[in-house]
């Protein structure tokens, strides 16, 4: 099994440019045998609050059609984030795009302070997918601040916990501490994807990372590069590799 965390530098509100970044990194991942690639929080638009409604995606938005084509062509699962409108309510969500032309949606469950002025939270959209007998569950940013979230993932028999985040340099130490603790406590492998460039007018910390189910930090990117963190499962161990874009 080979997974990838994409670390990107979004252009604020420039959906077309950000999608081109997604296409390029998906193709790079596929060239390296990746079966699933996860992008950061609201990766297609960059993190937004006040402008999120103007940038929002529909559940069946045509703008993800090429990502669907890439998923099928390369037999890869793509996790791409955006503000998503569901029944006229706005959520921080991500599209889970599978090779069989199916798309499921995960919506952020625990909002950061101030996000509830613009977004709803929901526990209704919480898919679990399986690759090679490994159950994979998802989290978006502030979800990882609430220990109930990974605990619920563990109760759903998650083997791998994938967090798509937008954390600043000030916040990344707590993210590392919490994700390491969750990996160790719940015996889950944890993959985290963060921006490396500014979003919402604020710096991001990069440092996308992977912890095994013993809580050991196996691989990470630096704070400034864009590219991929590859993680490959070989028997009971994991190998990692960084590819700079």
pLDDT digits (tens, 9 = 90+) for 72-125: 999 999 999 999 999 999 999 999 999 988 999 999 999 999 999 999 999 999
CATH number of residue 19's parent domain: 3.60.110.10
Bridge partner residues of 182 (DSSP) = none
pTM, full prediction: 0.98
Number of H helices, E strands in the chain: 5, 14
Rounded distance between C-alpha atoms, residue 200 and residue 11, angstroms: 10
Instruction: Return per-residue pLDDT of the chain as tens, 245 residues.
Output: 999 999 999 999 999 999 999 999 999 999 999 999 999 999 999 999 999 999 999 999 999 999 999 999 999 999 999 999 999 999 999 999 999 889 999 999 999 999 999 999 999 999 999 999 999 999 999 999 999 999 999 999 999 999 999 999 999 999 999 999 999 999 999 999 999 999 999 999 999 999 999 999 999 999 999 999 999 999 989 999 999 98
Q: Is 78 exposed, middle or buried (0-12, 13-18, 19+ CB in 10 A)?
A: buried
Give the domain range for residue 131. Answer: 2-244
What distance in Å separates the CA atoms of residue 34 and residue 90, rounded to the nearest whole number?
A: 31
**Cα separation of 206 and 198, whole Å?**
10
Residues 6+ apart with CB under 8 A from 28: 227, 228, 243, 245
Three-state secondary-structure class, residue 34:
coil
Q: Residues for the chain: how many in total?
A: 245
């Amino acid at each position: 099994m080979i997974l990838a965390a994409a670390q990107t530098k979004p252009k604020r509100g420039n959906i077309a440019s950000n999608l081109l970044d997604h296409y390029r990194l998906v193709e790079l991942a596929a060239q390296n045998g990746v079966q699933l690639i996860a992008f950061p929080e609201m990766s297609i638009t960059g993190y937004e609050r006040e402008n999120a409604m103007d940038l929002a995606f529909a559940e069946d938005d045509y703008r993800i059609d090429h990502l669907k084509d890439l998923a099928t062509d390369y037999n890869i699962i793509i996790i791409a984030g955006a503000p998503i409108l569901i029944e006229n309510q706005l959520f921080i969500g991500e599209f889970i795009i599978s090779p069989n032309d199916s798309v499921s949606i995960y919506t952020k469950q625990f909002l950061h302070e101030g996000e509830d002025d613009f977004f709803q939270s929901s526990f209704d959209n919480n898919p679990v997918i399986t690759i090679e007998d490994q159950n994979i569950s998802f989290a978006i940013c502030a979800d990882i601040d609430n220990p109930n979230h990974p605990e619920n993932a563990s109760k759903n028999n998650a083997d791998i916990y994938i967090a798509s985040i937008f954390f600043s340099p000030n916040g990344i130490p707590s993210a590392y501490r919490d994700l390491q603790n969750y990996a160790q406590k719940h015996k889950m492998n944890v993959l985290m994807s963060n921006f490396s460039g500014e979003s919402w007018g604020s710096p991001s910390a990069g440092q996308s990372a992977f912890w095994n189910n013993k809580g050991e930090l196996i691989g990470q990117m630096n704070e400034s590069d864009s590219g991929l963190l590859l993680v490959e499962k070989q028997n009971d161990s994991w190998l990692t590799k960084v590819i700079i874009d």
